[in-house]
Amino acid sequence: MVRRGTGETVNPSIRYPKLLSPLDVGTTTLKNRVIMGSIHTGLEDRARDTGRLAEYFAERARGGVALIITGGYAPNRTGWLLPFGAKLTNRLEARRHRRITDAVHREGGKIALQILHAGRYSYQPFSVSASSIKAPINPFRPRRLTSRGVRWQIRNFVRCARLAQSAGYDGVEIMGGEGYFINQFLSERTNRRRDEWGGSPENRRRIAVEIAREIRAAVGKDFLVIFRLSMADLVEGGQSWGDIVALAQDLESVGVDAINTDIGWHESRVPTIVTSVPRGAFADITGKLEKHVGIPVAASNRINMPDMAENILSRGDAQLISMARPMLADPFWVRKAEADAADSINTCIACNQACLDHAFVHKTVSCLVNPRAGREVELQLLPARKTKKVAVVGGGPAGLSAALESARRGHAVSLFEARDQLGGQFGIAQRIPGKEEFSETIRYFTTALRQADVAVHLGHKVTAAELLAGGFDDVVLATGVVPRMPSIPGIDHPSVLSYAQLVEEGKPVGDRVAVIGAGGIGIDISEFLTTDASPTLDLKEWKQEWGVTEPEAAPGALTTPVPARSPREVYLLQRKKGRIGAGLAKTTGWVHRAALKAKGVHELTGVNYERIDDDGLHITFGERRENPRTLDVDTIVVCAGQESVRDLVDQLTESGTPTHVIGGADVAAELDAKRAIEQGTRLAASI
Ligand code: FAD
Ligand code: NAP
Ligand code: SF4
């Protein structure tokens, strides 16, 4: 054992010695370096969901995380994220939180409440901010606070911290980043004041320092006070690096115990957490701050596996790792790291589909790879009362989840997959540049199926006769989908490929390509075609592409983007008139649309596909089939949706064998892996 000055204990004989070593933060000892970062689940907003929230946190505490930070609670109504959203303003509300803090403490965990004032991001007409400047992502213009109003806000932050302490929390995190209220005071972009709260860097940071100082005075020394600080605003007019360092030092001097970090504002046009952002992309910036303060700094954003976390800690870029989504994906992340079983971790693939995309449409947050997240109470996978012999046909996301969870409940499960590898359509998705993380889900299921003793038969296209002869009690048909080939004259021309032939079979493709269909897959395929075969997710290239520079080089760490050139000319077509990509999700759609634009993809809408021949793809526009045009392309890739594979359904159901159809085999329209995995899991819970 090696002892360091900070009370840090490192055991070099274990696989992740830094990650799993305790750390003194203020007067509190954290048992390891993993913080579950704040993510708003939606369960915070309604008193009736307190029990569900308590169980959700308790499961993460059981999973070994050292400190949990709750979703954000507003210190008053002006700070609400949404009307009637989560707030902590009185004793009655504080009493309810006892259920949460007790549940976490019973499991040996620690929990801090995040105080989040949304400022001009508050989605309501009574929002307030440093200046009356509307956010580009919110229709409501905030009211400029008077100086007295600022003092009142500070007192509300302090009241919130006191109430959190009375509710049994181990500390608070003050949200000072992501473009929320405090960040709006810190940045010239949103703070045009000339009084004591603006005009100079010292004045702009006064509110943050006062909040921290007064909270510390109110709660005493034995209560964690953490400040969430923006490492780079990634917006025009963002804070300079000097301002950020000075703020961190001031916060330390007024008694803040640790700094948690984040990157970018919600309105910034640089992606910071989506799957195409390289892992650990911003940890080096945290490392720069680490050298300027004596208190622990936590790295965050796109850290999802123990190796990466250990690396960041051993490089000295941070003393703590903050992960929010990875804890949704796998509550037992820390326990698995402790057992040196990283390959058993259900990795967060940064898709946002069931977490942040749910939050934006006011649905309770869950997780694509772990549908139990946020549903710990209602979606239980208890041991089966009667052990059954179950066949699962199809090793795509639906079949994988059904097979795994059925086996975990005690059933004897055989999984049949026609391909030589697991994953189904998700196996195609993982080959799209920027979706490499998807391979982690297939790795997780592969390992977990082995551990759960599922008999996996690869390269076995099972027939109805085999299934009937197998004596199975239940058969699950998860046979998925195949690409739809629309009936366009000339669709059998040699220049035409399905997306599966292009990506999976690696069929050759020319320099000029038309993509028929601009849904999620058409857009992914356009990115595939416009990205060079060179290694993707290279951090340097990624920063160039999105215009991210060193924080010292420019306020907000922004520079001119220099996207890599596309190796091909690509036309992306759809029959609908509207904007391409309009149906994509809120948190990721804009990233895809920006990427297509940067690569110069030609977008054509309102198209009629007339025919395909040696001259290329013949199209017209609109209902009256006007403006005929021939796209002189070498290759046409079809991404026109999918059709269900249901060839086994009739025979199986007619035989009387209990047969369940899930995933794409059930319904192909609007299918995604979120629905497929959830359907598989729910079915397994009921067999
Ligand atoms: P499938 O994935 O189609 O799996 C069915 C499996 O059954 C196949 O492996 C097939 O070989 C097997 N099978 C069929 N018949 C038999 C038989 N008789 N015997 C044995 N095996 C059989 N979804 C998202 O949620 N997010 C994304 O970002 C995303 N990106 C995508 C990008 C691309 C390029 C593609 C192609 C898909 C993407 N998807 C995405 C969609 C997602 O992959 C599918 O929704 C999901 O795979 C459907 O799962 P499934 O299990 O129902 O079917
Ligand atoms: P999709 O989103 O339904 O898009 C299919 C496209 O094909 C549409 O642009 C449609 O638009 C066109 N089309 C449909 N029928 C056609 C026909 N007969 N002839 C010509 N064009 C036709 O489906 P997808 O792109 O295949 O994706 C499948 C699923 O995977 C989606 O539901 C999606 O959720 C999921 N996915 C998700 C992501 C993600 O990032 N979350 C990424 C990829 C895939 P027009 O009719 O206007 O031409
Ligand atoms: Fe991660 Fe996607 Fe799950 Fe969100 S939904 S936690 S991004 S895997």
pLDDT for residue 318 is more than 50: yes
Task: Using the mean position of ligand 2's atoms as its centre, give its distance from the Cα of residue 438 in Å.
Answer: 19
Report pLDDT digits (tens) over 384-424: 999 999 999 999 999 999 999 999 999 999 999 999 999 99
Strands (E), 163-214: 171-176
Q: Provide mean pLDDT across the span 364-370.
A: 96
Provide the phi-psi class of 537: left if phi over 0, else alpha when psi is between -120 and 50, else beta: left
* Cα–Cα dist 225/611, whole Å: 66
Q: How many CB atoms lie within 10 A of CB 530?
A: 24
What does the pLDDT read at residue 14? 86
Q: What is the pLDDT of residue 532?
A: 82
Per-residue pLDDT, averaged over 332-341, amounts to 97
DSSP run (H or E) holding 685: helix 673-686
Contacts of 539 (CB under 8 A, 6+ apart): 278, 281
Dihedral class, residue 552 (left if φ above 0, else alpha if ψ from -120 to 50, else beta): alpha
At residue 3, the pLDDT reads: 33
SS3 content of the chain, % helix, strand, coil (to 5): 35, 20, 45
Q: What is the reported pLDDT for 534? A: 58
> Distance between CA 555 and CA 241 in Å, rounded?
7
Taking Cα atoms as reference points, which of 167, 679, 164 lies closest to residue 397? 679
Residue 429 CA to ligand 1 centre (angstroms): 9
Separation of alpha carbons 125 and 120, rounded Å: 10
Q: Quick: pLDDT tens for 622-658.
A: 999 999 999 999 999 999 999 999 999 999 999 999 9
Pick from 528, 573, 672 the residue to mutate for probing ligand 2's pocket: most ligand atoms within 8 Å of its CB: 672
For the question of whether the overall pTM of this predicted structure is more than 0.75, the answer is yes
Question: From CA 431, how far away is CA 295, in angstroms rounded?
Answer: 41
Q: Is 428 in the pocket of ligand 1 (CB under 6 A)?
A: yes
- Establish whether residue 368 lines the binding site of ligand 3, counting it when its CB lies within 6 angstroms of any ligand atom: yes
**588 in ligand 3 pocket by Cβ < 6 Å?**
no
Reply yes or no on whether the pLDDT at 8 is more than 90.
no
Instruction: Report the pLDDT value the prediction gives residue 292, as an integer from 0 to 100.
Output: 97
Banded pLDDT at 536 (limits 50, 70, 90): low
How far CA 247 is from CA of 115, 200, 406, 533, in Å, comes to 18, 13, 52, 43
Of the CA atoms within 13 Å of residue 283, those in its CB half-sphere come to 27
Task: Render pLDDT for 517-530 as a digit per residue (tens, 0 to 9).
Answer: 999 999 999 999 99
Q: Give the pLDDT score at 4.
A: 36
Give 5's pLDDT tier (boundaries 50, 70, 90).
very low
- Name the helix (H) or strand (E) containing 603: strand 602-604
Name which residue sits closest to atom 33 of ligand 1, judged by CA. 429
Average pLDDT, the chain: 95
Ligand 2 close to Cβ of residue 413 (< 6 A): no
**Which pLDDT tens digit goes with each residue over 232-252?**
999 999 999 999 999 999 999
Dmax (CA) of the chain: 82
pLDDT given at position 88 = 98
Candidate from 273, 303, 304, 348 with most ligand 3 atoms within 8 A of CB, to mutate: 348
CA of 637 to the centre of ligand 2 (A): 13
Asked if residue 524 has its Cβ within 6 Å of ligand 2, the reply is: yes
What pLDDT does 503 receive? 96
Q: Which ligand gives the minimal distance to the CA of 440?
A: 3
Contacts of 161 (CB under 8 A, 6+ apart): 115, 172, 215, 218, 219, 225
Q: What is the pLDDT of residue 18?
A: 97
Probe ligand 1: pick from 426, 456, 660, max atoms within 8 Å of CB?
Answer: 426
Average pLDDT over residues 57-80: 98
pLDDT value of residue 2? 35
Rounded average pLDDT over 488-494: 97
Find out whether the beta carbon of 353 lies less than 6 Å from any atom of ligand 3: yes
- Quick one: average pLDDT of 670-682? 97
Q: What average pLDDT does range 542-568 have in this prediction?
A: 93
Measured in Å, residue 121 CA sits from the centre of ligand 3 at 23
Is 364 in contact with 42 (CB distance < 8 Å)?
A: yes
360 pLDDT exceeds 90? no
Q: Give SS3 for 626.
A: strand
Which atom in ligand 2 lies closest to the alpha carbon of residue 488?
19
pLDDT, tens only, 422-455: 999 999 999 999 999 999 999 999 999 999 999 9
User: For residue 533, what pLDDT band results from cuts at 50, 70 and 90?
Assistant: low
User: In the chain, what percentage of residues exceed pLDDT 70?
Assistant: 97
Closest approach atom of ligand 2 to CA 425 = 30
Instruction: Kindly identify the ligand whose nearest atom is closest to the C-alpha of 648.
Output: 1
Ligand 3 atom closest to the Cα of residue 324 is 6
The confidence score (pLDDT) of residue 1 equals: 32
User: Which ligand is the nearest neighbour of the Cα of 603?
Assistant: 2
Residue with the smallest CA separation from ligand 2 atom 44 is: 520
Nearest CA to 618 out of 629, 603, 602 is that of 629
- 3-state SS, residue 29: strand
Q: Is the pLDDT of residue 101 over 80?
A: yes
The per-residue pLDDT for 9 is 56
Q: Catalogue all structural domains in the chain, each as residue range(s) with its CATH number.
A: 2-359 (3.20.20.70), 389-483+645-686 (3.40.50.720), 496-531+566-640 (3.50.50.60)
Ligand 1 centroid – CA 461 distance (Å)? 15
Nearest atom in ligand 3 to 328's CA: 6
Q: Kindly report, residue by residue over 146-176, the tens digit of the pLDDT.
A: 999 999 999 999 999 999 999 999 999 999 9
- What 8-state DSSP symbol labels residue 129? E
Q: Give 331 Cα–ligand 3 centroid separation in angstroms.
A: 12
The predicted structure's pLDDT at residue 538: 84
Q: How big is the chain, counted in residues?
A: 687
Atom of ligand 3 nearest to the CA of 356: 4
CB 483 within 8 A of CB 638: yes
Which ligand does the CA of 368 lie closest to? Answer: 3
Task: Give the residue numbers marked as catalytic.
Answer: 180
pLDDT category at 666 given cuts 50, 70, 90 is very high
The residue type found at 263 is: I
What CA–CA distances, in Å, run from 659 to 393, 399, 415, 683? 11, 13, 14, 11
How far, in Å, CA of 516 to CA of 526, rounded?
10
State if residue 86 touches ligand 3 by the CB under 6 angstroms criterion: no
Q: What percent of the chain has pLDDT over 90?
A: 95
**Distance in Å, CA 453 to ligand 1 centroid:** 23
Give distance in angstroms: CA of 550 to centre of ligand 2.
Answer: 39
Nearest to 78 by CA among 191, 173, 155: 155
Q: CB-side exposure of 494: number of CA atoms within 13 Å?
A: 3
Which ligand number lies closest to the CA of residue 369?
Answer: 3
Query: Of all atoms in ligand 2, which is nearest to the CA of residue 607?
Result: 48
Long-range Cβ contacts of 55-60 (<8 Å, 24+ apart)? 55/103, 55/376, 55/377, 56/373, 56/374, 56/376, 57/100, 57/103, 57/104, 57/109, 57/111, 58/103, 58/104, 58/106, 58/107, 58/109, 59/331, 59/376, 60/36, 60/109, 60/327, 60/331
